[in-house]
Structure 1
Amino acid sequence: MKLAGLKSVENAHDESIWAAAWIPATNERPALLLTGSLDETLRLWRPDELVRVGAPLKGHSLGVVAVAAHPSGAVAASSSMDSFIRVFEVDSNASIATLESPPSEIWSMRFDPKGTILAVAAGGSGSIKLWDTSTWELVATLAVPQPEGARPDKTGSGKFILSVAWSPDGKRLACGSMDGTIAVFDVARAKFLHHLEGHNMPVRSMVFSPVDPRVLFTACDDTNIHMYDAEGKNMAGAMSGHTSWVLSVDASPDGAAIATGSSDRTVKLWDISMRSAVQTMANHSDAVWGVTFRPPGGTGVRVGRLASVSDDKSISLYDYS
């Protein structure tokens, strides 16, 4: 497996780019890359040329810190430091819903595999909030408990939830916290199952393997990437190689690799079977806040793609093979 640099766009936004997601292809168009920036805008990009599609998408009053794409490819969501989530039609930018999730900004959100629920890492509320995508009503709030034996939180603020991920079968939901805690929930029963241990610093990003609903990958400020058996509560492996915070992680559609972005300014490709980095890309000159593999599907799609976004305002596109 390897990455080959295809194209980079400098000054893709006016300020740092902290969020990116691929919007799946529809019958009318190919997959698109969606990026969100501290310049308060979203932008859409063609999948192979990184040519911008249309004008910048507006609607937030502060910087955009997270984006998510509905599996249908027709709808996307963005969240901002203004504590609002904007749900909109991808091709028209028409607003569908505005969701409020105080008391703090939303750093991660994900649609479930069927597109029926939007899960939101609800920051300072210490919970995951679940929104029904047919009505855009809040249907559940999953409180994240303190691990057994944990020291009391002297700040009184409780947990701060940074990241969230769905298992590929939609049965499990995991979240990562500022204190390094990882919690796993049974979604159908809205029940907390267990904690996963091993990190003690912010877990900023996580993703389940697309081919194994038990396997969860986590990216942490401790510079490590952990691989967990989310059902058996065991850490199946730890991978190290970054020299600073690991800000983002995503799994390749074939399940054979993960990519990570770090504040050490690099993107790394990791072979899961070897539990090691097989390639380091140094396209960016500042922290890499997002890495995202293009989902399979769409006409004329023959090869894999990985995109990365950075504090340096640039987007890089790679061929994954």
Structure 2
Amino acid sequence: MFAPTKNYSNPDAEAIWVSTWLPNGEVATGSVDGTTSIWTPSLEQKFNLKSQHMGVVSISASEENGIVATSTVDGYVCIRATDTGIPSKSITLGPMEVWPIVLTSDGKRLITGNGAGIVKIWNIEGETFEAVGEVETNSGFIMSMAISKDNAYVATGHKNGIVNVIGLVRKTIIHTYNDHSMAVRCLCFSPSSRLYTGSDDKTIISYNVLTKESVVEHTYSGHSGWVTGVSVSADEQYLASCGTDRKMIVWPLKTDNSMQTLDCHNGIVWSVAFNREGTRIVSTGDDGSIQIYDRQESI
């Protein structure tokens, strides 16, 4: 299904906690030392943007206007141009006031989640951050967040295992799922608005958020540790996941083929992401390495 092709490794590199693909096929990463980097498709480092702030815990790229947003452990949020790496605006919200972030596809809004369970919506079209809405989830610390491809829904994963789905038009919670027994560290939406949630309970659960019922659609069990990252291919043929068991797993979603397990990291695998076309996967880990996997069959 997928084969490891490109790799970056450096024995002196810091752990890389987060990653995302840019629309042009480049990769953006964030590290434990607060560094944000942008890499070419062949994993040559294009920018290495150091910061005085602590570890980068979340990263999100827009589809349309060439920006990438990052948040750090100490509550610093930065918006950068992907072609230059230069910050266009930033805000320091403080520890626990921001953890996960997501950009809308047009890059006009930034959505943040915090330690009190509050989701905030920011207008970032101007020179500063303008708060334009918020939703109180009443579910405690927000560890993870994802936005649907059509910008209609935001999902939040919480430390207590709860998952909420928020409708962005009315800014209200439309689903609350209580099916994980431990923290939900990662979430992703498929193009058809299937929601996939990964947890410290070692499982991944899928839901159809378009239905009225808040029921489990499928449960995936294969990791022997926390699930730290999930991503779905553009054609929804594959789900990729990673975890503290040092593994990256590819799950066929529409065939009976067995899952594919890849062991390319020497430590915890913290992030995994499909590119826009669904032809490549990137993973990053505690060992400071970046691995790219290429799809072996044509789409």
**TM-score bracket relative to the smaller structure:** over 0.9
Aligned residue identity for 1:83: G
Give yes or no for the alignment of 1:310 onto 2:285.
yes
Conserved? CA contact 2:65–2:106, under 8 Å: no
Give the equivalent residue in structure 2 for 1:21: 20
Report the Cα distance in structure 2 between the residues aligned to 1:68 and 1:169, rounded to whole angstroms.
Answer: 15
1:261-300 matched pairs, under 5 angstroms: 261-274=242-255, 278-296=259-277
1:100-115 matched pairs, under 5 angstroms: 100-104=92-96, 106-115=98-107
Report the Cα distance in structure 1 between the residues aligned to 2:252 and 2:228, rounded to whole angstroms.
Answer: 19
Q: CA deviation at 1:194?
A: 2.5
Give the TM-score normalised by structure 2: 0.92
Q: CA deviation at 1:276?
A: 7.5
Aligned residue identity for 2:190: S
1:62-73 matched pairs, under 5 angstroms: 62-72=54-64
Give yes or no for the alignment of 1:43 onto 2:6.
no
Q: CA deviation at 1:209?
A: 0.9
Q: CA deviation at 1:121?
A: 2.2
Give the equivalent residue in structure 2 for 1:4: 3
Unaligned runs of 5+ in 1: 26-30, 147-158, 297-302
Q: Secondary structure at the match of 1:234?
A: coil
Give the equivalent residue in structure 1 for 2:133: 140
1:45-84 matched pairs, under 5 angstroms: 45-47=39-41, 49-54=42-47, 56-72=48-64, 74-84=66-76
Q: Secondary structure at the match of 2:259?
A: strand
Q: Secondary structure at the match of 2:216?
A: strand
Report the Cα distance in structure 2 between the residues aligned to 1:262 and 1:246, rounded to whole angstroms.
Answer: 4
Conserved? CA contact 1:15–1:39, under 8 Å: yes
Aligned residue identity for 1:208: F
Report the Cα distance in structure 2 between the residues aligned to 1:13 and 1:44, rounded to whole angstroms.
Answer: 18
1:245-260 matched pairs, under 5 angstroms: 245-260=226-241
Aligned residue identity for 1:101: L
Report the Cα distance in structure 2 between the residues aligned to 1:145 and 1:39, rounded to whole angstroms.
Answer: 32
Report the Cα distance in structure 2 between the residues aligned to 1:275 and 1:97, rounded to whole angstroms.
Answer: 47
Aligned residue identity for 2:123: D
Conserved? CA contact 1:196–1:230, under 8 Å: no
Report the Cα distance in structure 2 between the residues aligned to 1:255 and 1:116, rounded to whole angstroms.
Answer: 27
Q: CA deviation at 1:178?
A: 0.3
Give the equivalent residue in structure 2 for 1:226: 205
Aligned residue identity for 1:316: Q
Give the TM-score normalised by structure 1: 0.86
Q: CA deviation at 1:275?
A: 7.8
1:93-132 matched pairs, under 5 angstroms: 93-104=85-96, 106-122=98-114, 124-132=115-123
Conserved? CA contact 1:162–1:176, under 8 Å: yes
Q: Secondary structure at the match of 1:110?
A: strand
Give the equivalent residue in structure 2 for 1:153: none
Unaligned runs of 5+ in 2: none
Report the Cα distance in structure 2 between the residues aligned to 1:40 and 1:126, rounded to whole angstroms.
Answer: 24
Report the Cα distance in structure 1 between the residues aligned to 2:178 and 2:6, rounded to whole angstroms.
Answer: 38
Spell out structure 1 runs of 4+ moving beyond 4 A. 274-277
Q: CA deviation at 1:99?
A: 2.4
Q: CA deviation at 1:281?
A: 0.3
Judged with a 3 Å threshold, the aligned counterparts in structure 2 of structure 1 residues 277 and 79 are, in CA distance, closer, same or farther, namely farther
Conserved? CA contact 2:63–2:106, under 8 Å: yes
Conserved? CA contact 2:28–2:39, under 8 Å: yes
Report the Cα distance in structure 2 between the residues aligned to 1:195 and 1:102, rounded to whole angstroms.
Answer: 28
Give the equivalent residue in structure 2 for 1:149: none
Q: How many residues align?
A: 292
Q: Secondary structure at the match of 2:235?
A: coil
Greater mean alpha carbon deviation, residues 70-79 or residues 182-191: 70-79
Give the equivalent residue in structure 2 for 1:197: 178
Aligned residue identity for 2:13: D
Report the Cα distance in structure 1 between the residues aligned to 2:91 and 2:255, rounded to whole angstroms.
Answer: 42
